[in-house]
A and B are shown apart, each in its own frame.
Chain A
Amino acid sequence: MQFMLLFSRQGKLRLQKWYVPLSDKEKKKITRELVQTVLARKPKMCSFLEWRDLKIVYKRYASLYFCCAIEDQDNELITLEIIHRYVELLDKYFGSVCELDIIFNFEKAYFILDEFLLGGEAQETSKKNVLKAIEQADLLQEVSGGGQIGLPFHFIC
């Protein structure tokens, strides 16, 4: 996998993860182009799209688009499966996840993604293992006393 983007229906980027080294300028250009192309597609269309020399696999969950870029020889369906698995993980972690969860806890979303994918490859296919690793790391964070950063926002208000 080359990169993963999460963006809203309004085209706002919610999360980006790049597994290939690119300059910021290129990243921005690619993001802009892709978001436009994907948003232009109608809901009943298939999840695949050929773009430059890459294949784009995307899926929409509620108001959020999950979009991955893979190489030509890569398997489209496994990518679709990865997206779905990631959504499941987020759902389990946040408890029926919504876009706001990802906006306000974007670093958590990254941590989960990093536990699930590494260098663009799936590193752990077991949901249980991923969540266990995240929980333990979070626990470590609480113990080490930082606390505040991880707190949900409603707690502060």
Chain B
Amino acid sequence: MALKIVKGSIDRMFDKNLQDLVRGIRNHKEDEAKYISTCIDEIKQELKQDNIAVKANAVCKLTYLQMLGYDVSWAAFNIVEVMSSSKFTYKRIGYLAASQCFHESTDVIMLTTNQIRKDLSSPNQYDTGVALTGLSCFVTPDLARDLANDIMTLMSHTKPYIRKKAVLIMYKVFLKYPESLRPAFPRLKEKLEDPDPGVQSAAVNVICELARRNPKNYLSLAPLFFKLMTSSTNNWVLIKIIKLFGALTPLEPRLGKKLIEPLTNLIHRKIHIFSSHKMLCSQSHLIVSLSRIAVLISLSSGMPNHSASIQVMKYLGLLAMSKILKTHPKSVQSHKDLILQCLDDKDESIRLRALDLLYGMVSKKNLMEIVKKLMLHVDKAEGTTYRDELLTKIIDICSQSNYQYITNFEWYISILVELTRLEGTRHGHLIASQMLDVAIRVRAIRVFAVAQMATLLDNAHLLTGNMQRMGICEVLYAAAWICGEFSEHLENPMQTLEAMLRPKVATLPGHIQAVYVQNAAKLFATVLKNQEGNTDSTAAQETSQLMIDRLPLFVQSANLEVQERASCILQLVKYIQKLQQKDVEVAEEVCALFAGELNPVAPKAQKKVPVPEGLDLDAWINEPPSESESEDEQPKAIFAKEEPKHSRPRHTEVDEKELARRREARKQEQANNPFYIKASPSSQKAYQEAPGVEHIPVVQIDLSVPLKVPGLPMSDQYVKLEEERRQKERADKKKKEKKKRKEKRSGRGRKHDSGPESEEDITPAHMVDIVTEEMPEVHRSCLNITMNLKGNARTNMISAKKSSKHKKKKQKKEKEEKEKKKKKKHHHHHHHSDGGGEESVQNGTVEEEEPLPVSVYDIQGNLQDGSQVVVSVIFENKCDSFLKSMEFNVLDSLNSKLQRPEGSGPHDGLTVPFQLPPGVSNEARFVFTVQSIVMPQKLKGTLTFIVKDSSTHEKLDFKLHFTCTSYLITTPCYSDAFAKLLESGDLKCSSVRLEGVIMPFHHLLARICFHHHFSVVERIDSCASMYSRSIQGHHVCLLVKTSGQTVSIDAKCDEPTLLGNVLDEIKQTFSQC
């Protein structure tokens, strides 16, 4: 036995201890890795021995190696062995190694629970201490759950040394096992008043951290902390308490007021007592914390810090200012110069802080000046990160609150153009979106912007010449779009067109090329328009030729979007050229392709559009797509995204087709939307890899001097101009003022000029279209929508007129009748109220200008409710007087009733919610409840109104025709479902023959679809199956066959009456043609 011990110690003499290892590593600088691998082998040997001292030594060395970055996870079990040694020396090493090497996923941690519990209850306080320390580093949720009780007991240990550690580790336990918080909290609270300051401060620490996560629960402790704050002299504790109050005051404003006094006392006391530099630092930070609390602090006490040259102070001062800025912007603004100075600091941390402050400090007056300074910094800045930060800040500052501070947009555009010259910036798209935004919203700037963008396009090689600058080429996207959209402002559109069609454009990312192609077409239209005015037609033909020559390059593009647009436009131009050769003037038609102005739309505009009755925006249109599907839906990478695989099983997603179609539509929309800047031009990469790129000559331009793009104005000149403009304005104002107070003394005139001008004095040179509430005039896309609606809606017409005694009147009538006829052509099956009009009640005194409202109505079934129909009526005032107090009333039948608001009688009319100025039309919707839908019916109604000038009541009778068709809703049906339906045998048969129908089969189908709400299920040659559904769920199936002029319709429906009526209506439709 003794021999064994001796042998062990002799062995140990030859072992390397930690110091040897360290020294060895230092001596093997060249082959460190090799040396360490031999050491690890030795350690593995040592770990195999029984001697715990040897093992501890090995583990100690491993801990060192772990720090150097070597993997020691294989020794985890040995570490646990050493931890469980009864000797403190080894235990200490073991716990240290565990705390360094273990993490939550280390599996041997499970084995330690009992060992730790044993150590926690050890009579030796250092054993317990070491276990607690170790545990704080590797506590897992399981350990926390199992040991929470033991630790809680330790919180009331007799030794403050243990109590303190136990309190602190409780925080870690709470984080891992939140359930322990409730039982432990009373004891934790108790510890706030522990006699030992160490324990007290530990408790403050823990509660402070807890409160930061959820301050609400700790409000009740405020009085206790208040007492602590006034009594404690420990600065560490004070800082924590103040931080805690910082979290509490937002919840309880009264607390802030109460804190003012003790806090100011504290600051003054400490500042006076401690003069040492370090303490002052803490105090200045106290001030920072204070400002966080409620900005109780007067700035005067905070300011001396800024003059201190110490960087730390500077940093903290700026930090404090940014806190104060939020609540007291004025007081910070007065330190503008100081902050601008900080921008020159060598230290990036300080510069970034100062930049943060600038955002809140700009005003109309100093914006140009500040941005000018920032631009200087942009030129000087070395690091790309800092430069990018500057760039975003400049744009942030300028664009904040709807360009509130910009008085001269020409200046801003030039700033943006100057920013494009930045090398290697990532923020090309940001600049681009700003350019678009400004050009669209500030009408007055367009001429200037277009000129600038044209030069940009002309000098595109400067932006794209260097591959590194790829980020900035996003700007060309904006430039091309602006030049195209506002091409009427271009001075020399031909030149820009040529610039856009240069072969080098093909090196740009796909989405930019796509915009190029589209806008080249717009430019082409403008150029044609200009050239056709001239007598010489060859110029126009040359332009077409240019397009035809250059576009094929894009047709070959690897990017689908580019290819598609290019080939489309190429064909169009070819056709135009053909026309030109026949001396046909085409410019106008070509221009019509791109007609319509783009207007800004307010963010809230959508809210102004009333939600149509019966439309439930929250209801699913289709069944909610599966999870994976919804991921696909996200429009993050528009072009890089692949189409869903066809291999996906069909049955999982019934309307996969529909989804794909919608996705496609959205992509189109995004691509066409100039506001939609694509996230990542990943297509760019794909393009670069495409074959043939290397043939395109790319001129590398390497200039060390900052690039000055010829023809681009420098933003500086605007600063000067602006100065002059303001001077002038001031002078003008001055003159007026002088006139006013001529009698007053004139002595201080000059001095007054140089005095500070107030914010309001500065009138902007351009106004932004800031649309916030009003509806937009006509947005291009809106226009499309309305047109679509009109196209789809079946319009019935009710018109009513007054008998007239005047010629004027008659003309009107004729005109109207004509119009009606025109309509009739299209809507033969629809009912017109008798004879096109009923005479209103003769009231004897018919005036010259009789009100003549015409209404067009449309009946639609309500999908949600099988017994409801919505009738949309368009009222149009065709007379010259103002109509008001319109009331719509219908004589209810047994079957159909007008839905009236609750409380009104069955014969009361409904007030039309608007008035009609002359020549204006508006739409109102009325809901009818229908019992049975199998029969068509007519309802009689009246419209009463007051003509404003005469203030007499007028009456207009009309009839509403509820056809059976109007109860049908177009419902798509798949052929398999259709077949099943027919097989089911529940349906009754009926058929009808139409003779003498002279129209192509697809017209015939379209007519049935359009007028009678059917959808085509399948079409084979001259035979088609169609389907529709009524609002009450009746299936209507048609089989339409045609031979010569005869059309036979075989129909099946589960409701024979309905079917008969629908067929009659169809028959009527065709008999009228």
A residues near B, CB below 8 A?
13-19, 21-24, 28, 41-42, 44-50, 73, 75-78, 80-81, 84, 103-104, 106-107, 110-111, 114-115, 118-119, 121-126, 129, 133, 136-137, 140-141, 144-150, 153, 156
Contacts and interface: CB of A to CB of B under 8 A. Distances in A.
A18 B137 contact: yes
Interface string B183-223: 00000000000000110011001100100100000000000
B412 interface: no
B53 interface: yes
B285 A78 contact: yes
Interface string B491-507: 00000000000000000
Pick the 8 closest A-B CB pairs, nearest first.
A146-B89, A46-B311, A77-B285, A45-B347, A119-B136, A153-B19, A114-B133, A141-B89
A125 to B, nearest CB: 5
Chain B interface size, under 10 / 10 to 19 / 20 to 34 / 35 or more: 35 or more
Interface stretch (B168-176, B622-630, B727-735): B168-176
B71 A129 contact: no
Contacts of A103: 22
Contacts of A156: 17, 19
Interface string B152-186: 00000000010011001101100000000000000
A157 B552 CA distance: 84
A29 B938 CA distance: 80
A146 B168 contact: no
Contacts of A14: 67
Contacts of B348: 45
B133 A118 contact: yes
A15 B12 CA distance: 27
Contacts of B90: 146
B92 A45 contact: no
Given A119-B172, A149-B56, 5 more contacts: A81-B278, A123-B168, A133-B129, A140-B126, A150-B89
Contacts of A18: 137
Contacts of A41: 347
A19 to B, nearest CB: 7
Interface in B660-708: none
B89 A75 contact: no
A114 B168 CA distance: 12
A55 to B, nearest CB: 10
Contact of B239 (A78, A141, A148): A78
A53 B312 CA distance: 20
A148 B129 contact: no
A74 to B, nearest CB: 8
Contact of A21 (B53, B104, B281): B104
B316 A118 contact: no
Contact of A13 (B67, B132, B205, B349): B67
Contacts of A77: 281-282, 284-285, 312, 316
Contacts of B104: 21
A2 to B, nearest CB: 13
Given A44-B346, A121-B171, A123-B198, A137 B311 contact: no
B350 interface: yes
Interface in B251-301: 278, 281-282, 284-285, 288-289
A75 B348 CA distance: 20
Interface of B: 12, 17-19, 22-23, 53, 56-57, 60, 63-64, 67-69, 71, 73, 87-90, 92-93, 96, 99-100, 103-105, 124, 126, 129-130, 132-133, 136-138, 161, 164-165, 168-169, 171-172, 197-198, 201-202, 205-206, 209, 212, 234, 236-237, 239, 243, 278, 281-282, 284-285, 288-289, 311-312, 314-316, 319, 346-350, 352
Given A21-B103, A45-B311, A123 B126 contact: no
A148 B17 contact: yes
B67 A75 contact: no
Given A45-B311, A50-B349, A156-B19, A22 B103 contact: yes
A130 B772 CA distance: 63
Interface centre among A16, A22, A47, A81 (most CB of B within 10 A): A81
A141 B212 contact: no
Nearest to A42: B346
B349 A45 contact: yes
B168 A119 contact: yes
25 contacts: A13-B68, A15-B67, A21-B103, A21-B104, A24-B73, A24-B103, A28-B69, A46-B350, A50-B352, A76-B285, A76-B316, A78-B239, A104-B19, A104-B22, A118-B165, A119-B168, A119-B169, A121-B205, A123-B164, A126-B198, A129-B198, A137-B88, A140-B88, A141-B89, A153-B23
Contacts of A136: 126
Contacts of B284: 77
Contact of B201 (A16, A22, A125): A125
Contacts of A106: 18, 63-64, 67
Nearest to B286: A77
Contacts of A42: 346-347
Contacts of A23: 103, 105
Contacts of B69: 13, 28
A149 B56 CA distance: 9
Contact of A78 (B89, B124, B282): B282
